[in-house]
Amino acid sequence: MKMNLYLKSRQLINFIKGIVFLNIFFLVGTFIFNNYYFNILNSTWQDGSQIKYILLEFCLARENVLATWYSSMVFFSVGIIFFICYLIKQKDLSKKYNNILSFGWLVFSGIFVLLSLDEMASLHERLGNITDINPLPDLASGWVALLGIPIALVAGFMIWFCLLQVKRAPVAAFFTIAGVLVFLSIPVQEYYEMHSWQTANNSESWKRPVGFLLLEEGSELFGATLMMVSGLLFAYNLSTDKKFTLGSSFVLKFQLDKRNILFQYAAGSVVLFLLMVTIVNNDLLNIEGEISDLGKRENWFPAVSAFLCSLLCLYLYFKDSFFNSPKIFLYLSAFSLLISAFYGSDLYNYMYSPFSSNYKIFIFAFLSFITLGLAIKMFISMKDRYDRTAILLWAFLLILAFGIGTWFAAALVFMGFAFLSLLLIYRITTVPVVSGSRVVGSH
């Protein structure tokens, strides 16, 4: 099935501006929280008012908060964009060279999906502290030595890969190289920071300079933003021979084979579920007692599942669909994004803590009410019994997850949105979407 994604250049520019604004917003939030915690509370969490819990959510240097969820979803979005490059390149596999380039985009996508997982699950910190494989177990910066070689190899591959296409898309290649160089600076920054800490006159009282913190977190966000821009420009250049200008329409053309895309998504969901069970129950990675403030590994999976569903719903909203009321997609997209943030920032675990026990019933009722309302609306709009079954299963898994407090709640949410996304992908590749008043549809 041929698909076209249309976006006006002004809309694209506004989207990038929005990402830049959010990057700055969370960097400012990071600065405010650190100033409040170190200078006003004197590093004593027990002091201060309840506002500290609000400020904490906007600090990029902390785990299991809204800011970390945002950073992870930025990486995941870059992975999606490069996957679209892969889909676009799939249309022309008549030459072996094109086939190699096609799977190169798939490697790009996988790299940023892995970075998204690492951002929320603290994988490199965990690996760096497994003494059996860490070449420098006595150093806090041991993970730099452990991962230095694969990081260099990945960076070299990315630069080489974009240089192959520099003649076709020089601006996109420039953004890619700039983004890679920004990312390469992060291990150097962390090594220098650790060296400063270890060589300080009084290392026990040493405090991380806020400048180091903002530089590192800003490098991650803006490095990902540069890669996002490069991915969009590469996708445009792969779709058309025209050069992108500020006055041109941003059009992405690619093909989806229904059977292949459904199989790939279903297989990918199964692999992610098995990965979730593996890393959550892996004793080697279970080092919460040794290091404070590590990301909870299970939270990434429901976050990306709901986030992807939100994007699919948003895509369908901006088209004339098979539903009588397309606004249901907008509501479902917003709700999916809310659930992605709710689980990605670990807010759902507050429902089962003594601090929020008074709000547990209210939160459960609120989320369940919205889930049921959306499910009923979707159920009425759909006529196919398989569609209706998927909707009922989605609603059942979510409401069940809202009512339990174990790590498996995250798995239930992941499965619920995986089923819903599979249904949406099936409908996108099955039912013709006619061009409408909002955006021109697929053909």
Do both 385 and 330 map to the same domain? yes
Residue 19 placed within a domain: no
Do both 251 and 205 map to the same domain? yes
Residue 88 placed within a domain: yes
Residue 318 placed within a domain: yes
Residue 60 placed within a domain: no
Q: Is 288 a residue whose pLDDT tops 60?
A: no
Residue 293 placed within a domain: yes
Task: Single out the residue in 229, 255, 281 at which a domain terminates.
Answer: 255
Local structure of residue 320 (DSSP, 8 states): B
Model confidence pLDDT, tens digit, residues 201-212: 665 666 778 888
pTM (global) more than 0.95: no
Do both 338 and 362 map to the same domain? yes
Provide the 3-class DSSP secondary structure of residue 337.
helix
Do both 89 and 112 map to the same domain? yes
Residue 351 placed within a domain: yes
pLDDT classification of 398: cutoffs 50, 70, 90: very high
Do both 168 and 286 map to the same domain? no
Do both 101 and 246 map to the same domain? yes
Q: Per-residue pLDDT averaged across 160-189, rounded?
A: 85
Take residue 90 and report the two structure tokens written for it: 């799939």
Task: Single out the residue in 255, 272, 302 at which a domain terminates.
Answer: 255
pLDDT classification of 70: cutoffs 50, 70, 90: very high
Model confidence pLDDT, tens digit, residues 323-337: 455 788 899 999 999
- Please give the full DSSP string across 151-194, using - where no structure is assigned: HHHHHHHHHHHHHTTTTT-HHHHHHHHHHHHHHHHHHHHHHHHH
Residue 156 placed within a domain: yes
79-83, 245-249, 250-254, 388-392 — which is least confidently predicted?
A: 245-249
pLDDT classification of 224: cutoffs 50, 70, 90: very high
The number of distinct structural domains making up the chain is 2
Do both 154 and 179 map to the same domain? yes
Containing structural domain, residue 397: 258-443
Model confidence pLDDT, tens digit, residues 350-383: 766 655 556 778 888 899 999 999 999 888 888 7
Do both 210 and 337 map to the same domain? no
Task: Single out the residue in 255, 270, 293 at which a domain terminates.
Answer: 255
Higher-confidence residue of 218 and 210: namely: 218
Residue 424 placed within a domain: yes
Take residue 94 and report the two structure tokens written for it: 């008549």
Local structure of residue 64 (DSSP, 8 states): S
Contacts of 256 (CB under 8 A, 6+ apart): 1, 3, 87, 428, 429
pLDDT classification of 286: cutoffs 50, 70, 90: low
Q: Per-residue pLDDT averaged across 234-250, rounded?
A: 73
Biggest CA–CA distance in the chain, Å, is 72
Do both 295 and 408 map to the same domain? yes
Share of the chain above pLDDT 90, in %: 30
